[in-house]
A and B are shown apart, each in its own frame.
Chain A
Amino acid sequence: MLKRFAAIASGPLLLAVLVVLLVWPLICLVSGSLHEGNSGGAWTLDNYTAIFQTRSSRVALFHSIWISLGVAAAAVVICLGPAWLFVRHDFPGKRIARAVLTLPMSFSGILIGFLCVIMLGRIGVVPRLMEWLTGTDYFSGTAYQLGGILIAYFYFEIPRATLSLESALRKLDPRLELAACSLGAGAWQRFTLVVLPQLWPALLATFALTFCVSLGSFGVVLIVAKRFSLLPLEVFEQIIAFNRYPLAAAMSVVLLAIALCASLTARWATHRLTHVR
């Protein structure tokens, strides 16, 4: 009885939540980005052309895309190792290692930005250690440069990539590898011919996930960025400093569109890989 009630009630509830939290805000956002003034005005596409005509926002958009692409690629490749270890092997300290790698999942971007400053700031832990070891404070202020942003974003994506890959690896059938092994395939052959073809969809999905999270992440760059502005920060600045909501909305829509493209492309590619053989 309760079960049926829950089923009947959850449908409309879910729909209501969807409308209130997703559809309605999205309509407001898109409509806002297409208007001239903060509270309406004439319809226009100027906000979108402004993003590409203004050097700072164009550069920020470009940085956002390539930093997110780079970080997502690095996260997928590097996290595959630990994910494999966690699924296929038992070793002392596995639970601790797993906890350490997945803990940053619960950290906000701002916290990770601060951690980055504490470690790689001008008087961070790493430069002070370097000074003690070598006499020169290497990595001093790295937090505020491109390196700092890449490290912080990568750190931000480690838990997401690891967990996503782990669940994909768990679904792999080890018997296929055993079969390949008994047919004489070496470790490399087993990986490239048996594991990888099954894993492509998961790799793509993880790539798309980490790319989208990096693209939208704002807290990290709020703390560490000096010259490197990213588009989410430009959105913040347009609202806080210049009170230009339509432009901020247009930037948000562009970010959304890119994220949507990324996940749709990943889906399409996954579909091709799994169904067209």
Chain B
Amino acid sequence: MKIRNSLIALFLTCAALTPARAQEKVVVQYDCIPNYANWGGVTAQYLKETGVRVPPDMKGSSATMAALEQEKTNPQADAAYYSAAIGYQAAGKGLHAPYKPKGWDAIPAELRDPDGLWWTVHSAHVAIIVNTAALKGKPVPTSFADLLKPEYKGLIAYDDPTIHGTSFTFVYGINQVLGGGADMNKGFDYLKALDANIVNYPRENSYNDVLRGEIPIWINADGNGLKMKWTDKAPVDVIIPAEGTVAAPLVMALVKGAPHGDEAKKYLDWCLGESAQKTMAESFFRPIMNVNLGELAAKFPPASAYRKAVAPPLNEMAANADAVKARWVKEVKGNR
């Protein structure tokens, strides 16, 4: 009897709660990692301003593309967020619907698709993020070459590039940073040598592991490291490597057949607006729109730090993405 009563109570509670949930408006964004580019803060801000919820989603760029492709006939997501090359690739597979959000004209032409299949929302650069406390007195590396030193054995990680776009950008771009040619051998030679010092290729975002010191050195977007440093007040240094670095534009797109298409368009418009762009900048990803960042501006590294940054053409990156990922699996991860 007791069980029956509690079951009835449970049922009534659920019934009472359901309408509230059903009325709540939702936009589903694939790749909405709270600790990446401050998506946690951005979506909280959107909820505050509009009452529309954008739930967190832990997929990386490539995982997002795979999910959209799998759900092609029955789309579940409204918007998608990627590292630019993977977004470009996904657009080529016909996974996006064309849309030109408000503010479209302010985006540089090379950072958006002419038909509106994707556009940049902010950009970052690949950097070496170092938890200096976890290094226990070892010198802070200042270049990609430093990372090959035996003293860093088991201290370095970068996310699995077959899943996460930022890591893919690094794996693709390192060849050009080091002056390699079209065969990409120089880049892969470096990655193979670096493998000796790698503790893990995490498949989930590693932000908290770096904060705790479980991962002392993380190759990822500079903005995430700067957020650790300025916002979390962690003993973190963000190193722009001496050899140069890779530009990492991040893009958004409207998913083809989005179940909440109209809400998604409003949200995508808002993401280019001043309040969203400023909130993104709180994670030190450079807004694509010209917004006044106030005090934040001084906490960004100076433009001169990025003098030697390379920006591989997105069409080439997208065209070679699958081949580069496969080569990484074969030669770097599978190099036992």
Q: Which residues of A contact B70 (CB under 8 A)?
A: 239, 243
Q: Roughly how many angstroms separate A122 CA and B160 CA in the complex, as a whole number?
A: 18
* A 122-156 binary contact with B (CB < 8 Å = 1; else 0): 11000000000000000011001000000000000
Q: A59-B336, A237-B162, A241-B162 are in contact. Are A141 and B330 (CB under 8 A)?
A: no
Q: Is the CB of B200 within 8 A of A226?
A: yes
Q: Is the CB of B201 within 8 A of A241?
A: no
Q: Is the CB of A240 within 8 A of B154?
A: no
Q: Is the CB of B69 within 8 A of A243?
A: yes
Residue B329 lies at the interface, judged by CB distance under 8 Å to chain A: yes
Residue A89 lies at the interface, judged by CB distance under 8 Å to chain B: no
Q: Is the CB of A241 within 8 A of B69?
A: no
Q: Which residues of B contact A237 (CB under 8 A)?
A: 162, 329
Q: Is the CB of B163 within 8 A of A241?
A: yes
Residue B214 lies at the interface, judged by CB distance under 8 Å to chain A: yes
Q: Is the CB of A241 within 8 A of B325?
A: yes
Q: How far is the CB of B335 from chain A (nearest CB, A)?
A: 9
Q: Is the CB of A227 within 8 A of B62?
A: no
* Chain A interface residue bracket vs B: 20 to 34
Residue A121 lies at the interface, judged by CB distance under 8 Å to chain B: yes
* B 158-174 binary contact with A (CB < 8 Å = 1; else 0): 00101100000000000
Q: Is the CB of A141 within 8 A of B322?
A: no
Question: Interface SS of chain A: helix, strand, loop or mixed?
Answer: loop
Q: Which residues of A contact B334 (CB under 8 A)?
A: 55-56, 59, 229
Q: A55-B330, A56-B330, A144-B199 are in contact. Are A243 and B215 (CB under 8 A)?
A: no
Q: Roughly how many angstroms separate A247 CA and B87 CA in the complex, as a whole number?
A: 24
Q: How far is the CB of B277 from chain A (nearest CB, A)?
A: 30
Q: Which residues of B contact A55 (CB under 8 A)?
A: 330, 334
Residue B297 lies at the interface, judged by CB distance under 8 Å to chain A: no
Q: Is the CB of A226 within 8 A of B162?
A: no
Q: Roughly how many angstroms separate A239 CA and B199 CA in the complex, as a whole number?
A: 24
105-133 of chain A: CB within 8 A of chain B: 117, 121-123
Residue A222 lies at the interface, judged by CB distance under 8 Å to chain B: yes
Q: How far is the CB of A126 from chain B (nearest CB, A)?
A: 13
Q: A121-B214, A226-B199, A226-B200 are in contact. Are A240 and B322 (CB under 8 A)?
A: no
Residue A188 lies at the interface, judged by CB distance under 8 Å to chain B: no
Residue B333 lies at the interface, judged by CB distance under 8 Å to chain A: yes
**Quick one: closest B residue to A118, CB to CB?**
B214
Interface centre among B134, B155, B329, B330 (most CB of A within 10 A): B329
* Chain B interface residue bracket vs A: 20 to 34
Q: Which residues of A contact B214 (CB under 8 A)?
A: 117, 121-123
Q: Is the CB of A242 within 8 A of B326?
A: yes
Residue B234 lies at the interface, judged by CB distance under 8 Å to chain A: no
Q: Roughly how many angstroms separate A242 CA and B204 CA in the complex, as a whole number?
A: 17
Q: Is the CB of B336 within 8 A of A227?
A: yes
Residue B213 lies at the interface, judged by CB distance under 8 Å to chain A: yes
**Across the A-B interface, how many residue pairs have beta carbons closer than 8 Å?**
63
Residue B198 lies at the interface, judged by CB distance under 8 Å to chain A: yes
Q: Roughly how many angstroms separate A117 CA and B333 CA in the complex, as a whole number?
A: 20
Q: How far is the CB of A74 from chain B (nearest CB, A)?
A: 24
**Quick one: closest A residue to B69, CB to CB?**
A243
Q: Roughly how many angstroms separate A222 CA and B204 CA in the complex, as a whole number?
A: 9
Q: Which residues of B contact A222 (CB under 8 A)?
A: 203
Residue B66 lies at the interface, judged by CB distance under 8 Å to chain A: yes
* A 221-238 binary contact with B (CB < 8 Å = 1; else 0): 011001101000000010
Q: A55-B334, A56-B333 are in contact. Are A242 and B325 (CB under 8 A)?
A: yes
Q: Which residues of B contact A59 (CB under 8 A)?
A: 334, 336
Q: Which residues of B contact A38 (CB under 8 A)?
A: 69
183-232 of chain A: CB within 8 A of chain B: 222-223, 226-227, 229
Q: Which residues of B contact A223 (CB under 8 A)?
A: 203-204
Q: How far is the CB of A56 from chain B (nearest CB, A)?
A: 4
Q: Roughly how many angstroms separate A117 CA and B209 CA in the complex, as a whole number?
A: 10
Q: Roughly how many angstroms separate A174 CA and B70 CA in the complex, as a whole number?
A: 57
Residue B212 lies at the interface, judged by CB distance under 8 Å to chain A: yes
Residue B63 lies at the interface, judged by CB distance under 8 Å to chain A: yes
Q: A226-B201, A242-B322 are in contact. Are A123 and B134 (CB under 8 A)?
A: yes
Residue in contact with B198 in the complex, picked from A123, A226, A239, CB distance below 8 Å: A226
Q: How far is the CB of A75 from chain B (nearest CB, A)?
A: 26
Q: Roughly how many angstroms separate A240 CA and B163 CA in the complex, as a whole number?
A: 7
Q: Roughly how many angstroms separate A243 CA and B63 CA in the complex, as a whole number?
A: 9
Q: Which residues of A contact B162 (CB under 8 A)?
A: 237, 240-242
Residue in contact with A240 in the complex, picked from B66, B134, B215, B333, CB distance below 8 Å: B66
**Could you list 10 examples of A-B contacts with CB < 8 Å?**
A59-B334, A59-B336, A123-B214, A141-B154, A144-B199, A226-B198, A227-B333, A239-B70, A240-B66, A241-B163
Q: Known pairs A229-B333, A229-B334, A243-B65. 16 more at Cβ < 8 A? A: A121-B214, A122-B214, A122-B216, A123-B212, A144-B199, A223-B203, A226-B198, A226-B199, A226-B201, A237-B162, A237-B329, A239-B66, A240-B62, A240-B162, A241-B325, A242-B325
Could you tell me which A residues sit within 8 Å of B by CB distance? Answer: 38, 55-56, 59, 117, 121-123, 140-141, 144, 222-223, 226-227, 229, 237, 239-243
Q: Which 9 residue pairs spanning A and B have beta carbons closest together?
A: A241-B162, A56-B334, A226-B200, A240-B63, A144-B200, A240-B66, A243-B66, A121-B214, A141-B154
